[in-house]
Amino acid sequence: MNLLAIATLFSAVVLGLSPPTIVERNPSKVCVVPAAGNSSIDDTPAVLKAFDQCGHGGKILFQNTTYHINSVMNTTGLKDCEIDLRGTLLWSTNVSYWLNHSLPVGYQNQSTAWVFGGKNIRFDGHGYGTFNGNGQTWYDACGSVSNYPGRPHALTVSETSNSEFTGLRFVQSQMWTLSIIHSQNTLFDNIYVNSTSVKSSSRNTDGADTIYSSHITFRNWEVDNGDDSISMKANSTDILIEDSLFHRGLGIAIGSIGQYKDAYETIERVRARNITYSKTLHAVYFKTWTGEQVNYPPNGGGGGLGYASDMVFEDLKATALRGPAIAISQCTTFSGTAGNCTSSKFQLRDLSFKDLTGTTTSQDVASFQCSAVKPCENISITGVDLEVSSNGTLADEYLCGNVEGTRGFNCTGAVCVGGSATGGC
């Protein structure tokens, strides 16, 4: 950058010129996003203008300050650009506004506060750039309603390819932190998520969810939340999760899946390795809807078709798991409905779990509540060394229902059969 450009950039930052200040560089440009510095003034127009002017071949720079985001954002169609987040994006607590204006994600009637997408993008938070969703407001407002209509995800990465998101912090996300849909060949590295509540449940605060996406890598994640640590949903293929730490949530989730009646969906080629768990419910669990449709998404559904297969989970280290390390429940159904837990037409097969060590509060290594219509097939579990913290014995129970083909373990008892969205009964 030449001296004129440096001087212009300095003026933009210090003097707070009208949004956004554009600094020409060879061959592209930098848009410095100014912040009003007042929660009553929406910084969204300045953000959107910066993306409009620098979203193709340029750089969008958020300064080390707080930006008040009071309205929805759609920044899709980006290309060959960089986003440099050195401050905090703070979402407003106007629940009524967000419930009525959040943007559609394109799955399960979910919605989002920000739709973001494009090709060849680098989004860098340098380890401290922060999304703050003011989630406590949402946890208090929504209570036990899992998918409150209009409750937004923090960020939806849509139709994105050949891109990298690194060094970002997400705190108090409104609902799911990150939904990734219709995206390919993208890396999410060095991401921190903390969506915990001081009083109400922080239910449905998934760390990340993949939907209709392939070749997605999650590396060096730390997630402390009240729901799925990372979840793979419909048509997620070639997903890698590695070198990550998960606290207090539910663990790695496959699903829920099979929610849309007669829709054929798959989840294939998932790999997870070198994962550390602290007080999560499970290490890995699977959840499908029953074979009967009851009501509609996001809180109802069922009757879906397809399979989840070719998955390997290895080098899993646990401290104080709260339930079975590995769980399958094919009995997700509409809230308050007693579903048929053996009717799912969605099959789980070719699953491998290797080197699972640490401590647990459960005597059950695995709980497999599979469908009688499409039994679970070809499950391998090897290298288990889990100590039950209450008595110092080894966890050695493997509870099975409708499982065909086991390797490395023998089923020791019948599984509990009952409705569940989190594994077990």
Dump the DSSP string for 183-238: -EEEEEEEEEEE---SSS--TT--SEEEESEEEEEEEEEEEE-SSEEEEE-TTEEE
For 79-101, the DSSP string reads EEEEEEE-SEEEE---HHHHHHH
Structure token digits, residue 416: 């509990």
Residue 22 inside a domain? The answer is no
Q: How far apart are CA 118 and CA 158, in angstroms?
A: 8
**Rounded-to-integer distance, Cα 99 and Cα 111, Å:** 9
d(CA 163, CA 180): 12
Both tokens of residue 228?
């799925």
Tokens of 122: 């680098």
Whole-number Å distance between alpha carbons of 92 and 223:
23
What is the spatial distance between Cα 310 and Cα 102, in angstroms, rounded to a whole number? Answer: 36
297 φ, ψ to 5°?
-60, 150
Q: Three-state SS for 12?
A: helix
Distance (Å, whole) CA 161 – CA 142: 34
SS3 52: helix
- Residue 19 reports pLDDT greater than 80: no
Q: How far apart are the C-alpha atoms of 177 and 165, rounded to whole Å? A: 14
Q: Both tokens of residue 319?
A: 């401290």
Distance linking the first and last C-alpha atoms of the chain? 61
Q: How far apart are CA 251 and CA 92, in angstroms?
A: 29
Active site residues: 227
Indicate the pTM of the whole model.
Answer: 0.93
- Does 258 fall in a domain? yes
Confidence of residue 28 (pLDDT cuts 50, 70, 90): confident
Share of the chain above pLDDT 70, in %: 93
User: Which residues on neighbouring strands pair with residue 182, listed in sequence order?
Assistant: none
For residue 202, tell me if it sits in a domain: no
pLDDT tens track for 118-159: 999 999 999 999 999 999 999 999 877 778 899 999 999 999
Q: Give the tokens for residue 146.
A: 């899992």
Q: Is the dihedral of CA 342, 346, 352, 354 positive or negative?
A: negative
Q: Examine residue 402 and state whether it is found in any structural domain, yes or no.
A: yes
Contact 333, 289 (CB under 8 A): yes
Q: How confident is the model at residue 420 (pLDDT cuts 50, 70, 90)?
A: confident
- 57 lies in some domain: no
Rg (CA), the chain: 22
pLDDT in tens, 229-259: 999 999 999 999 999 999 999 999 999 999 9
Which pLDDT does position 410 carry in this prediction?
A: 97
Q: Mean pLDDT across the stretch 402-406?
A: 98
Q: Side-chain half-sphere of 59: how many Cα atoms within 13 Å?
A: 17
What value does the mean pLDDT of the chain take? Answer: 92
Q: How far apart are CA 304 and CA 152, in angstroms?
A: 25
Do 73 and 101 form a contact (C-beta atoms < 8 A)?
no
Closest CA to 277 of 315, 246, 314: 246
**Cβ atoms of 356 and 380 closer than 8 Å:** no
Q: What is the CATH number of the domain that holds 330?
A: 2.160.20.10
Q: How many CA atoms lie within 13 A of 366 on its CB side?
A: 27
Give the single-character DSSP code of 34. P
Residue 353 pLDDT > 50: yes
What mean pLDDT is predicted for residues 161-176? 98
Question: If you count them, how many residues does the chain have?
Answer: 425
- Rounded distance between C-alpha atoms, residue 120 and residue 109, angstroms: 28
pLDDT tens-digit readout, 66-101: 999 999 999 999 999 999 999 999 999 999 999 999
In a domain? residue 360? yes
Please tell me the total count of domains within the chain. 1
Task: Name the pLDDT band for 10 (thresholds 50, 70, 90).
Answer: very low
Burial annotation 385-418 (CB, 10 A radius, 16+ → b, else e): ebebeeeeeebeebbbbbbeebeebebeeebeee
- Report the percent of the chain where pLDDT is more than 90: 84
Q: Is residue 169 part of a domain?
A: no
The pLDDT-based confidence of 5 (bands split at 50, 70, 90) is very low
Please report which confidence band the pLDDT of residue 20 belongs to, taking 50, 70 and 90 as the band edges.
Answer: low
With bands split at pLDDT 50, 70 and 90, how would you rate the model's confidence at 22? low
Chain center to CA of 157? 11
Its domain, for residue 289, covers 250-425
Q: What is the pLDDT of residues 261-270, one digit of tens each?
A: 999 999 999 9
Q: Is the residue at 345 inside a domain?
A: yes
Confidence of residue 398 (pLDDT cuts 50, 70, 90): very high
* Tens of pLDDT, residues 274-328: 999 999 999 999 999 999 998 888 888 999 999 999 999 999 999 999 999 999 9
3 state SS of 69: strand
User: Beta strands of 322-375 (E only): which ranges?
Assistant: 326-332, 345-360, 364-369
**pLDDT tens, 193-230?**
999 998 878 889 999 999 999 999 999 999 999 999 99
What dihedral angle (degrees, nearest 10) is formed by the CA atoms of 407, 410, 413, 414?
20
Using the predicted structure, report yes or no on whether residue 16 has a pLDDT greater than 60: no
Mean pLDDT, range 1-22, rounded to an integer = 41
20/32 Cα distance (integer angstroms) = 6
Would you say residue 334 has pLDDT above 50? yes
pLDDT of res. 226? 93
Q: Check pLDDT > 70 for residue 24.
A: no
pLDDT category of residue 367 using cuts at 50, 70 and 90? very high
Rounded alpha-carbon distances, angstroms, from residue 320 to 280, 284, 424:
8, 14, 17
